[in-house]
A and B are shown apart, each in its own frame.
Chain A
Amino acid sequence: MQKRVDVLWLIILAAGTILAINMGIRQTFGLYLKPVTQDLHVSREVFALSIALLNLMWGVGSPFAGALSDKFGALWVMLVGAALYVAGLVIMATSSGESGLVISGILIGLGVAGSGISAVLGVVGRAAPPEKRQMALSLTSMGSAIGQFVALPYAHVLIDGTGWAMSLFVLAVTAAVMAPLGVALARSVPPTSAAVAGASPEQRMGAALSEALRHPSFLLLTAGFFVCGFQLAAIGVHLPAFLTDQGFDASLGVIALTVVGLMNIAGTYYCGRAGEIMPKRIVLTLIYLGRGLVFVALLYVPLTETRVIAYAALLGFLWLGTVPLTSGLIVTFFGPRWLSTLYGIVFLSHQIGSFLGAWLGGWFYDQYHSYNMLWWASIGVSLMAAVLHLPIRETPSPRLAGLAPAE
């Protein structure tokens, strides 16, 4: 038992590091817009297309990467994912024009999906014993929060110091580290170990998908995760511009984003662990309602610098805590056997929400010259998320209940 726990710590460390690299590097591409387009003499629309394709491939590729990972084991999915990620970064670094940028966007997007959160959480979910699973998912997700926080400033220094092309090579070498970590991770947990955790190993993927898509609570969870993506994109993309519109110095936007990033690290862990002491659907409801309260405050409470930082702290704390709770609920419903596949489906809903949150924010601003409608929409989807999560039945599916409890 002791040995199993020790191995679990190493698995969490490897998984968290993979997620930190995977999500961290992806976070930095906005910094490359100006230097790349200026050096290569390509339009910003081409670079935008490349990044849009990256996000599209990431969202669409995640369910497939999760399915392949669950069916054939995470080893090859992670290796191919890391290889595509590295190839995309190298192609971008050596690109001389439009086609290179577009190809790199596609490859990096597929790489992010393959070596990303769907596959990694599936491995961790299968490796952890039921009593440690929520803690393991929370700590692993925290790796993602750390990566997102630290990658941006270090990449900025790197671009300044070495130029954009060399910095991409450095990022490629960093991304390559995911390969040995992925091998260690995948080999530590055979996919059939789900049997140990009480799932049904003989259930086929088609049956698992059919079961999930007919499971009302899974559908509610999927719809709820859309709200998470919507709100994070609304804040991440539009908050700095909103603050400068309100007359604040740009440095307050920087401080706010720093506070969001730091509080996100703690919040991911503690919100995830809160799912151990109260129903996960209730924690998720409180997270979405908490975000809604911040949006109400943005609309109705006069903004001061102190309040902006307080709101940023609250939003940061509620930022990524949804990930371990959502993945934990999937395990509760169906066991860990097809976690990667099912999380990939839920995550696709998150990405559609992200797209709409970012796009609608810009559209509302163009229409009304104000972000108020975006904040109202964010309040509306908060209430929608609460309504969606409260009826979730936090119990194993009838099939799983007939075999053994998942947790």
Chain B
Amino acid sequence: MPLHLRIAILSGIGLLCAGAAYLMLARGNVMLIDLSAAAARLLCL
């Protein structure tokens, strides 16, 4: 795979993951409450 394509793909994945990590840390408590309500009743693995 050409180097520039590899860098573009890795950068895209990196940005996606960094955004997800930021959202987890910024909104995680609310998300966890929503999920724990579900996990208590579901086997949502």
Interface residues, chain A, with chain B CB atoms under 8 Å away: 6, 9, 13, 29-31, 33-34, 44-45, 47-48, 51-52, 55, 146, 149-150, 152-154, 156-157, 229, 232-233, 236-237, 240-241, 250-251, 253-255, 257-258, 261-262, 265, 354-355, 358-359, 362
A16–B42 alpha-carbon span in the complex (Å): 28
Provide the main secondary structure of the chain A interface: helix
Tell me, in angstroms, the Cα distance from A257 to B39 when the chains sit together: 14
For the complex, what is the distance from the CA of A206 to the CA of B40, rounded to whole Å? Answer: 41
B37 to chain A, nearest CB (A): 6
CB distance from B13 to the nearest CB of A (A): 6
Option from B9, B16, B29, B44 in Cβ contact (under 8 Å) with A29 = B44
Complex CA distance for A195 and B25, rounded to whole angstroms: 49
| A229 contact set on B, CB distance < 8 A | 45
Alpha-carbon distance between A241 and B40 when the two chains are bound, in angstroms: 10
Give me 12 A-to-B residue pairs in the complex whose CB atoms sit less than 8 angstroms apart, sorted by A's number: A29-B44, A31-B35, A52-B42, A150-B17, A150-B19, A152-B20, A233-B43, A254-B28, A257-B24, A258-B21, A261-B20, A262-B21
Within 8 Å by CB of A153, from B23, B38, B40, B43, lies: B23
Flag if B43 contacts A358 (CB, 8 Å).
yes
Contact A9 B28 (CB under 8 A): no
A358–B45 CB distance below 8 A: yes
Min CB distance B18 to A, Å, is: 10
Q: Are B17 and A30 in contact (CB under 8 A)?
A: no
Whether A9 lies near B1 (C-beta < 8 A) is yes
> Would you call A153 and B20 a contact (CB within 8 A)?
yes
Q: How far is the CB of A371 from chain B (nearest CB, A)?
A: 14
**Structural contact, A254 and B16, CB atoms closer than 8 A:** no
CA distance A258 to B44 in the complex (A): 18
B29 touching A250 by the CB < 8 A rule? yes
* CB-defined contacts of B43 to chain A, threshold 8 Å: 51-52, 55, 233, 237, 354-355, 358-359
Q: Assess whether A153 is in contact with B27, with CB atoms less than 8 Å apart.
A: yes
> B34 → chain A, closest Cβ, in Å?
5
Assess A30 versus B35: contact at CB under 8 Å? Given A150-B17, A358-B45. yes
A30: B residues at CB distance < 8 A? 34-35, 38-39, 42, 44
Residue pair B36, A240 in contact (C-beta under 8 Å) = yes
Which residue of A31, A33, A52, A146 contacts B31 across the interface (Cβ within 8 Å)?
A: A31
List the 10 closest pairs (A to B, CB-CB), nearest first.
A254-B28, A153-B23, A30-B38, A150-B20, A33-B38, A9-B1, A30-B44, A258-B24, A51-B42, A354-B45
Q: Which residues of chain A have C-beta atoms less than 8 A from B45's C-beta? A: 55, 229, 232-233, 236-237, 354-355, 358
Chain A min CB distance to B3 (Å): 12
Find the A residue at minimum CB distance from B43: A358
Separation of A146 and B10 alpha carbons in the complex (Å): 12
- Tell me which of B1, B16, B28, B41 contacts A146 (CB under 8 A): B16
- Contact at B42–A156, with CB atoms within 8 Å? no
> B29 to A237, Cβ gap below 8 A?
no
Contact indicator B37/A146 (Cβ below 8 Å): no
Q: Is the CB–CB distance between A33 and B32 below 8 Å?
A: no
B41 touches A153 (CB 8 A): no
Apart from A153-B20, A251-B28, A255-B25, list 20 A-B contacts with CB within 8 A.
A30-B35, A30-B39, A30-B42, A52-B42, A55-B44, A146-B17, A154-B19, A156-B27, A232-B45, A233-B43, A240-B35, A240-B36, A241-B39, A250-B32, A251-B29, A254-B24, A257-B28, A258-B25, A354-B45, A355-B43
Chain B, Cβ-Cβ closest to A350: B45
